[in-house]
Structure 1
Amino acid sequence: MKIKKSALLDALKVLGKVVSQTSPVEVQRSVRFLGVGEQVWLTATDGVESVTAEVAGDAGEMEEFTVEYKALRELIRSTRGGEVEVTGKLLDWPEMEAVPDDALTVELPPDFGRLLALAAPVVDQREARFALRGINLSRNGVTATNGKELLNLPCPLKIPEDITLPFPLALLTAKPEGAGTLHLWNCRNERLFRIVIGGFQWQGKALPGNFPDWKQVIPADKTLDYRIEIH
């Protein structure tokens, strides 16, 4: 399988946010390649979350194999020219939960990735309250808090109840552009999600716990002494 070195390097920057290079589990140290013609999908998982990035390449009719992340980085460094030829071995790659037919599907606006990037600096990933380590989605938009500051970004989402995403490090690195899709469903008492934006896909489990109701945190307009509007 042949892939442009720059495209592979960009994909590895994203997948590297999920790969665990010190894991005793080989799958979690590796990247799965699945190619059909000129389309190649690279996937990494930490056992809970799974991230897939699509790149252009040359895979013939169909190729599937895995390569350890560290070996891929070394391959890029040692290869001259703008194209890399990648080979690997087959591993028993764990299949992520399929999106069921009755899953809730919500359209995401073109600026969804930008909103998450704006909310991310507020999040404290070392916060004792697990739910506060992520970013909350609700009908009223995107919300993040560290217990001292709270930020709500209006973004009407057609979801019946809020959901807290894990900190979206891979998505922030990928910076996918354009409209996307959010799938939500329940499986074995857990809330699962899948976000698809262009050639980027992220699937995982929602964070447990109650996220603060931002409307109860931010005072009503009539109780404010001062108000600043930025247009």
Structure 2
Amino acid sequence: MRLIAHRAFASCYPENTLVAIERAVPDADMIELDVRRCGSGELVVVHDEVVDRISAGVGRVDELSSADLSNLDVFETGTGVPTLDEAAAAIPADTGIVLELKERGIADDAVAAASTVENEVIVSSFDAAALDQLTVDDPTVELGYLLGLNPDRDFEHALDLDCAYLHPHWGHLLLTDAVDRAHDTDMKVNVWTIDTAFVAGLLERKGIDGVIADSPDVR
């Protein structure tokens, strides 16, 4: 069972930052990062639409340039919002990368960026349309679908998109046969977001392939 560092272990380190990535890598099999497009066109690694929560700055990510975002002091780390290229370069080749698309219209660019690194890469989203917009055919990059409030409908979306991975919430799996359903269709299952080793152990016995966690202590 693989351990995937959610936002580079968000409960331990300043999420989605280069500082967090550096600290998370020794304990993680894969690093999960949130991806958006900034105002100057680059893909950047940040969860929120605005920068108010993560810094003393204000404004929308899609209205700020990569230079503006780089100059922020994110979570008082002395570092700014990294571009996707910078974040990917900070992750060793033997550590996988999961890119969660936070908006539509960026799938091709995310896959193009992923194709420049040697890491295993999964591109995921809650939004079927965000993944369906992908036109780049890169066999080295696999798709993952995050299950939301309608797991059965989302499961069908994952099949339609030919996803290699299903990313359901852990609570959905404890009472359903979703793991077996996914494995029967050759999809692997990475579960979010795990907070305790106890839950991780229960899910491992159900046959999941990976846990997406905010802390390395779940393993």
TM-score (norm 1): 0.25
Normalized per residue, the structure richer in helix is: 2
TM-score (norm 2): 0.26
Highest Rg: 1 or 2? 1
